[in-house]
Structures are given as structure tokens and as C-alpha cells.
Amino acid sequence: MSNASDIVKIARKISRPSALDYINHIFTGFIEFHGDRNFRDDKAIVGGIAFFNDMPVTVIGIQKGHTTEENIARNFGAVHPEGYRKALRLMKQAEKFHRPVIVFINTAGAFCGIGAEERGQGEAIARNLFEMSRLRVPIISIIIGEGGSGGALALAVADRVWMLENSIYSVLSPEGFASILWKDASRSKEAAEIMKITANDLYELGIIDKVIKEAEGGAQNDFGFTANILKSKLESEFEILCKEDIDTLVEKRYKKFRVMGEFTE
Amino acid sequence: MNLFKRKQYVSVNASNINEDSKEKKNNDVKSGPAVPDGMCVKCTGCGKTVFKKEIGAYRICPECGHYFRIKASKRVKMIADEETFKEFDEKMTSLNPLNYPDYENKIQTMKEKTGLNDAVITGICKIGGFDSVLCVMDSTFIMGSMGSVVGEKITRAFEYAAENKLPIVIFTTSGGARMQEGIVSLMQMAKVSAAVAKHSDAGLLYVTVLTDPTTGGVTASFAMLGDIILAEPKTLIGFAGRRVIEQTIKQKLPEEFQTAEFLLEHGFVDKIVERENMKNVLTEILRLHNPKGCEFNV
């Protein structure tokens, strides 16, 4: 098995399959919707409706680019408050029409900037946590690359949280962690090992529910391999989730996060 | 060399407000970051040296009006009616989910230094005669960071309030997530926010009071979820740290950026309330929610 800092490199590869790659492969008839109805359309978030086999679903993703140009347009997958609000709008729409929600997460973190603060980045993330915890449709969130801090969590309060084998999910980037705790960003490799950020570590910690296998060396080496596994896992999971009574489902979602934390009294 | 100097903060002992002279002899034994035994303190705002007596019960600089940061226990005294505060979960303390080197020792040292078991005190009290759950964070404990204990205590406070149909008031102050607990600290944001939603669904009142500083994961979870959000003047409130933003966008930020006044201007704070009026305003808010506006059938 690769070590954590190798996985960080794979997770950040520009060739790593993006949210739209998975959306186009797994779903049919995807229609993309735009805007948060308040400020503007954040291109770091894609979302809309599609069929998953015969079932209408809402799909949302944090989109990174495969080229520098595309990345600039997508703001490198760094979401602004209006992006989180767009995602929330689509989730509330899903709730209205009883559509399950599937979210693909790939971000180094929520965007840090003047506009983001002016428009309430903290409020936007908080609101998503609050609303997702009680959304009355099944939600599956999948971390497909980077799951950077609150920016990722804002779309990951789900009934099932999965990670691709070579993706990461963390409170902060290993560079940031090393810089805050050791005042030395160059110790990021060491930080990556200590932080428990890989899919396997987080599965063992009980933070995520499933690890999705990738082709040797990463999903970019054989996209169909990973995407097909993911599709079949989604099929079997929705078999279970869609049969669940919705009150029970929401209560289980509450309990899933409720038990996280390690303390003694 | 001044560039590399850390900012000096003056800590104020919670127990000796108003009774400086009377109690001086007794509180020497108190542990925690006590005021150095002297008559003067340096203001963390204007840098001037001022008489301790002059900063008064509310800990406000007589020269510049700057608010000294205050300990949670002192805040409880300011807000709760006398002798009404009953603390919840006072013994709860953190484990080490990542096996982060030396974390247990760090916690132990902080406990001895601050007299707290973690960065929040929770409990029930009366405020101006009204029953309310009250949570107060304390920035002297690892920068008020939120790990398992802060997350669990605040979640329990919301669950208690929901079960007993009580309002809840939270004073926030935090640097964000507790790094040493890694992803587990991130998950506290989801856990607490879900508890806020349950309390809210029960039709109950939640008031947040943002105090200096409120940033990171606390801003991005329960701090911004109050039905009513108050703030002390000039409080630093934000999601990302100033330095991080400056590095990202490669420009200097204006002075008033991320202050309570800035958030009020942009619509994220309901009202800025001076420290000496806080209890009155909270009392009036509680009064206005008791009973409900109009008991129509829903």
C-alpha cells in the first residue's frame, strides 16, 4: 500500500478524473442547472438532474479542470459561498421532488478571499451542514480527489460517505497542518502520515463508510474500471436507501455524526 | 526585531472583578493565567498602560474602549443571574484520536494553566429571570479550538435544551478546529450543526453572541446558525484567517475587514451590543420569545 504522501500526490493529479467525468459516465440525460438565485453562478460547483438507470436523481459536484485554463474557469475547485448556496438550492429542489442526491467532492478547500468573506463563507458552509442533516431524501457523498476541510464537509453530511482509494479527506491540508502546528510547511509529508487522511485510515476510524477501489496507480490509469465499480456500488446502495422509511433515514444520519468524537468523563 | 515579536495578551483572572483590593490576599493561590500582581495592565488594543482598577468590571480599556478578552467563568458571572448557573459535563476531557504526539500532555498543561477541562463551559441558568441553556467558549484553552469535547458538550447542550423546551445562548470565541484531533474535530462541525437543526425544528430560540475572535470551523458551523446573531464591538469574525487570505490573493486587506462592524454591514450579524448592555439585551430577547408571539393553530 502506498503511503499517505504518495496518495496526496495522486489525489491532486491534474489528470485525475473530475466530477463531470463521473457524472457523464454514471448517469444519463444530465441537465446542468446554474446559479444560487442570489448572487451568481459559481463554476466550481456543477449540478443538475439526471437519470440513474431509471431513477431521477440530483447530482452535484465540485469541479476541477484537466487543464490550467479549465482550472482557472473552475477556480481550481475552490468554492465560493454562492457555490454552496447553489448546491443547497439543488438539494432542496431534490427534496421537493423526492430525488436522491449524489455528490462528488474534489476540493482543496473553500475559497479564501475578500468576496468569499463578504458574502459569508462561514454562514454558507454552516447552512449546508444544518440543512443536509435534516434533508428528507437519501444522500450519498463521494470524495473523488481532495476533501479539503469545511469546504468538503459542506457537501458531505450524507447517509453514506465514500472515498475513492487514492483520495484524501482532512481538517486541513498537510502543508497547512505542518505550518500551524510545527511552523514549518516543508514537513507536510510527515503531517500527511500523522493526520489520518487516506481512505483506508478514515474507514478504520469510522469516519467514512466505504472505500472504492481504483486502478493500479490511480483512477486516471483506467477511468472505466473505477467508474464502473462506483456505479455498481451506487446501484446496490440505493436499493437499500430508497426502501428506508424517511424519518428513520434522517434519524440514522443524525446518529451517524452524533457518535463521532473521542472523550472521557 | 519587533516583526518577530508575538502579540502580547493580558489575561484576566476571573474571580477578582470589583473586589481587587478586598480579595487580593485570597486569590494569590488561584492557578491559571492570573493578572501579574500589579496595579497596571497593558491594553491589548492601544498598547497603553492603564490602571487595573480603571478597566472595571466589564474589562474595557479606559483609554481606547478596547475590550479585553475574558475568561468563560467571568462571562458566566456577567450574564447568568447570581447563583443560578449549574454546569453540565464539567469533567469531560479529550482523548487522542490521532495519537498525536504529546497531545495528552498539552491538554494536561492547559488544564493546569486555565483551570478548565476544555474550551467551553456549558450549563443551565437564569438570565434576567428567564431559564436558558448557556454555553461560553474560552479562548485561553488552545485558542478556543473545537475538538471532541467542545463538539460533544455543545451538542448535549442543544439536546438538553430541545428536550426541556429551553432557549440556548452561546458565546463563541475560537480559532477554529482543534488541529491535533484532525478529521475528528472537523466532524464536530457536522455533529453540532445537526443538533442545532433539531433544536430549531422544535421551534426553540438560539442566540449566538460572537466574541473576539470567532473564526474557522466554529464560524462555519454553530456560530452562524443562531436565529439571532449578536456580536461585541470590533470582534474579529471570519472563516479564513487574515494571513491566509492575504497570501491567497496577494494583497493587503483593509483594517476593518472581518470585524463585527464589517459583518453587520454585509448582513451577517443582527446587532452589535456593548458588553455592559449584553445581559439586558439578552433578557429582552428572551422576554420577547416567552410566550410565543401568537398561539395560533399550526
Mention every residue, 6+ apart, whose C-beta is less than 8 A from residue A2: A10, A166
Nearest to B191 among A111, A196, A258 (CB): A258
Please compute the mean of the pLDDT values over residues A185-195 and round it to a whole number.
Answer: 92
Question: Å from A173 to nearest chain B CA?
Answer: 10
Mind listing the pLDDT tens digit for each residue in B141-161?
A: 999 999 999 999 999 999 999
Sequence ranges of the domains in chain B: 39-68, 70-288
Q: Chain A: residue nearest B100 by CA?
A: A194
Mention every residue, 6+ apart, whose C-beta is less than 8 A from residue B22: none
With beta carbons under 8 A apart, name residues in chain A contacting B220. 110, 121-122, 125-126, 129, 150, 154
pLDDT category of residue B251 using cuts at 50, 70 and 90:
confident
pLDDT at B186: 98
pLDDT at residue A155 greater than cutoff 80: yes
pLDDT at A103: 98
Question: Å from A197 to nearest chain B CA?
Answer: 8
pLDDT at B27: 42
Please compute the mean of the pLDDT values over residues B193-217 and round it to a whole number.
Answer: 97
Instruction: For B204-240, give one letter per residue: b (16+ CB within 10 A) or e.
Output: bbbbbbbbbbbbbbbbbbbbbbbbbbbbbbebbbbbb
DSSP, collapsed to helix, strand or coil, labels residue B58 as coil
Nearest to B193 among A133, A169, A265 (CB): A133
Q: Is A134 in Cβ contact with B238 (below 8 Å)?
A: no
pLDDT at residue A58 greater than cutoff 70: yes
pLDDT category of residue B11 using cuts at 50, 70 and 90:
low
The CATH class given to the B70-288 domain equals: alpha beta
Report the share of chain A in percent with pLDDT over 90: 96
pLDDT at B45: 86
Q: Is A117 in Cβ contact with B93 (below 8 Å)?
A: no
User: Do A22 and A66 contact (CB within 8 A), yes or no?
Assistant: no
* Sequence letter at residue B223: A
Q: Show the beta-strand stretches assigned E in B12-129.
A: 40-42, 49-51, 86-88, 93-94, 120-127
Q: Mean pLDDT lowest for which of A146-160, A167-181, B17-31, B283-297?
A: B17-31
Q: Chain A: residue nearest B249 by CA?
A: A113
pLDDT at B20: 45
Mind listing the pLDDT tens digit for each residue in B118-132?
A: 999 999 999 999 999
pLDDT at residue B275 greater than cutoff 60: yes
Reading the block at residue B132, the C-alpha cell is 436558558
Q: Is B266 in Cβ contact with A134 (below 8 Å)?
A: no
Mind listing the pLDDT tens digit for each residue in B72-104?
A: 999 999 999 999 999 999 999 999 999 999 999
| pTM of structure | 0.91
Nearest to B219 among A122, A134, A195 (CB): A122
Please compute the mean of the pLDDT values over residues A210-217 and round it to a whole number.
Answer: 96
DSSP letter string, A87-147: HHHHHHHHHHTT--EEEEEEES-S--SHHHHHTTHHHHHHHHHHHHTT-SS-EEEEEEEEE
Q: Which residue has the cell 510547511?
A: A185
pLDDT at residue B230 greater than cutoff 70: yes
